[in-house]
Structures are given as structure tokens and as C-alpha cells.
Structure 1
Amino acid sequence: MRIRRFTAILALGVAAVGLSACAEQINTTVSRYQAMPAAQGQTFFVVPGGGMANNGGLEFQRYAGIVAQQLQARGFQPATSSQSANMIVQFGYGVDRGQVRYVEDPFYRSRFGYGFGGFGGWGSPFHRSRFGWGGGYSWGWDDPFWYGGGVDSYVEYHSQIDVHIRAAGTNAALFDGRVQARSETSRLDVVIPSLVEAMFTGFPGRNGEVVKITIPTRPPARS
């Protein structure tokens, strides 16, 4: 029993270190297609472009302001309205409700010589693909904690932002970008600024590129 308790404590300690590391940075996948003109003071206006952004209000204004700052830092100028802008920037963002993930402690496997996939070759009933699983076991026989430790759980959230830039008047496509990330927080004030920074790292990028960018998180801004 002491060994089991020690293993459970060790597993939780390792998990805590992992959570701490993930809280300090976000790994993103950035996709960009662009035909952007050279910055010569063209004006832009940011509008909702899907997801949570369609709710509008102060939340959208806050994150749209971060997008505007990034564009302004690259030589473009904010317009006072969409009618007076040379470019319309459609900005959308969102985060899902999260999925519980289970991680088997390798120390537990090596210590006791078995894992949860070792009973009759069935495989783990609760370790499935992100896109095809959800609560694949019932409490009781398949409860991973019934074995006395060795499995840790956490909630994984998927977040995304989209930025589409169109020429005002003609609606010609100038830029299409998407950033996706996984994190262990669903706080928009932590995730969205990091995704925006990833989007504009090396902006506008090469047409058709898909790159991995790691962005350090920052403390949430005080209201």
C-alpha cells in the first residue's frame, strides 16, 4: 500500500510539472495563404469573422484591438469605419469545452510489470483519438483509479483563431490565416493573445506555409 501511495504521489508530481510547463507556453500550428501588398499606410478595419467573435461587445473589441496593434506595427493604419478602410480584416476566435485525457504513469508500468492495455489484449478502453472518443469507460471495473494509481487525467482544450483580409470594394483575398493550439486552459485572456502573436510572427509569411510556432504566455491584463 505504501508503494502504491508513493507511486500515485509521484505521478501527480510529474503531472503538476507538465501542467506548469504548458501554462508557460502554447504550441501552435499556423497556416497562412497570402497575397498581401507591401505596407504603404493602407487603412484597415477589424470586423467579427466567426466563432465567439460574432458575439461582439467588449470582449471582441479587446481582442480585435490586439490584432489592430499587430497590423499597425507592420505599417498599416486603423480606419475609423469599414466604409473608410482600404482593407477589411475578418477576425474569428473560439475555444472548445475541452476533453478529458488520461495519461498512464510509465513508472507505474515498469514497477509492477503491467499496464492497463495488458488484460487479454483489449487495449485501454479510455485512451482514444481526440476526434473519436469521449468517456469510453464506466466507473467500476474500468475505472483507472481502481487499480491504486498509475493514471493521471487532465482536460485538454482546443483553441483557434482565423484572420481573413479582403480588399475593400473588390473583396479580393489578400490574406487567409488560421492558428490552432492545444492547451490546459480555456481562458481566452491567456490563449487568444498568444494565438494572435503566433499569427503575426513572420507575417505575412510564405504563401501556403504551415509552421509550428511556440509562444510564451503572458499574465492576463488587468481590467
Structure 2
Amino acid sequence: MKRTMITAVASLSLLLGGCATTIRSDVTTFNQWPAQLPDKSYAFETPPPQDNTLELQSYENLVRAQLARLGFHEAQGSPALKVSMRFSTIDVPTQVLYPTFAPTYYSPRFAYMGWRRRYWGGWYSPFYDPFWGPVPAYDVQEEHRYHRQLQLSIASAADGKRLFDVTVRNVSRQMSTPVVMPALVQSAFEGFPGPNGGSRVIELKQEPRQNG
């Protein structure tokens, strides 16, 4: 029986591990994109030295791939367009109460509280004492929500006129920003250049990473 249970748990873990993850983002776009743009060359704005991290450079590579898909090409000399990007991740811890049921003794005045931190939920009614049976209680657990924001802009290199602005917002339990960022960048360019002053919800499937 024990071996059967271990096998079942292992099979379930493999099944869940192979499931794709849905990444949901709120995307807001503004654009004054010209009807004709013969020169699609671009270069990234040079960030301040303290912001020019390896992490930023890796995310710029994701933007390069999306721009190449749309027919843009990077130029080192005199580009027609300037591309800039900013991103942020904020960890927002939240105290969450989960209802549990603790075993009780005969006396209705006492409840076994267990080794975890619990909050007693009171009796079922002021006129009824559940001498036997579960007592409603709550486990307090801290959960983390990671609020991420990605901002991308494309401007004319000649006069600095903004042609395209997009803001992507995402909230998830995923701690690692590099895991989520490919989907955020892809969402930024979905339906490019998108509605002017419009917001959309974009959901993308992300296949699990293969180890090894």
C-alpha cells in the first residue's frame, strides 16, 4: 500500500510539473504610429550606469527578438528610432487566514490548538455546545504576491517624439522575475501597436522549463 501511494504521488507530481502556466497581464498602450515607416532601424537608449545591469541587458534581448519579429532591425550608427525600457518588481506579503478544524475534548470551553498558530473561531451558536466534533479555527499563513511592471517606449530619434508607449502589469506568486519576463515582453507587443489609450488583458501559456 505504501509503495502504491508513493507511486501515485510521484505520478501526480510529474503530471503537474508538465502543465503549462497561464500568465495574465494587464496591457495599456498609447501610440501615434505613422501609417508609413520606411526606416525601421532602432537603438536602445543608454541607461544610467547604475541601471545598466546584466539583468536589464538580458531583458533587452527579449525586446530585440520581438522587434525582429515585427520587421525592425538594430542599428549602431544613426537609427531612426530610440527604444527605452524600465521594469520593477515589488514583493507584497499578505497574511491569509485558512479555516481548519481542530480536535476537541469533552469540555466546550477548551480546544486543542495544535502546534501551529491558530485563531479560535467561536462556537457554532450561543445556545449550542459541540461537545464532540471539530472546532472551527484558522491557520495564519504569509503569502507573497509579486507586483511587476514593464514599461517600453519607442520614439523618433530625430526629434524625440513618442510613437509608442506600453505598460504591462502582472501580479503572481512567482518569485523569479526572469521566469515571467519573456511573457511580459511578448504581451507588450501583442497586436502591435495596439489601441491608442486602450487597455487589454492578455493571457499567454508558458511551457515549463526542462531541467538538465
- Provide TM-score, normalisation by structure 2: 0.66
Which residue of the other structure, out of 79, 84, 100, is the alignment partner of 1:85?
Answer: 79
Residue pair 2:21, 2:208 contacting (<8 A) in 1 also: no
Q: Matched residues in 2 for 1:204 and 1:221: separation?
A: 33
Q: Residues 150 and 209 from structure 1, CA distance in 2 versus in 1: closer, same or farther, beyond 3 angstroms?
A: same
Q: Matched residues in 2 for 1:195 and 1:164: separation?
A: 14
- How far does residue 58 in structure 1 lie from its aligned partner after superposition? 2.2
Aligned-residue RMSD, C-alpha: 3.5
- What amino acid maps onto 2:172 in structure 1? S
Out of 212-221 and 91-100, give the one that drifted further: 212-221
Residue pair 1:35, 1:174 contacting (<8 A) in 2 also: yes
- How far does residue 98 in structure 1 lie from its aligned partner after superposition? 2.7
**Greater Rg by CA:** 2
Counting matched residue pairs gives 168
Which residue of the other structure, out of 186, 190, 200, is the alignment partner of 2:179?
Answer: 190
More helix by share: 1
Segments ≥4 residues shifted beyond 6 Å: none
Report % sequence identity: 25
Q: Residues 54 and 68 from structure 1, CA distance in 2 versus in 1: closer, same or farther, beyond 3 angstroms?
A: farther
- Provide TM-score, normalisation by structure 1: 0.63
Match of 1:100 in 2: 94
Q: Matched residues in 1 for 2:174 and 2:119: separation?
A: 27
- How far does residue 189 in structure 1 lie from its aligned partner after superposition? 1.0
Match of 1:146 in 2: 119
1:168 aligns with 2:157: yes
Match of 2:54 in 1: 58
Q: Residues 220 and 207 from structure 1, CA distance in 2 versus in 1: closer, same or farther, beyond 3 angstroms?
A: same
1:68 aligns with 2:64: yes
1:87-108 CA deviation, whole Å, 9 max, x = no partner? 0011111101332241545xx5
Q: Matched residues in 2 for 1:56 and 1:151: separation?
A: 40
Runs of at least 5 residues in structure 2 that lack an aligned partner in the other structure: 1-16, 103-115, 121-136
Runs of at least 5 residues in structure 1 that lack an aligned partner in the other structure: 1-19, 113-142
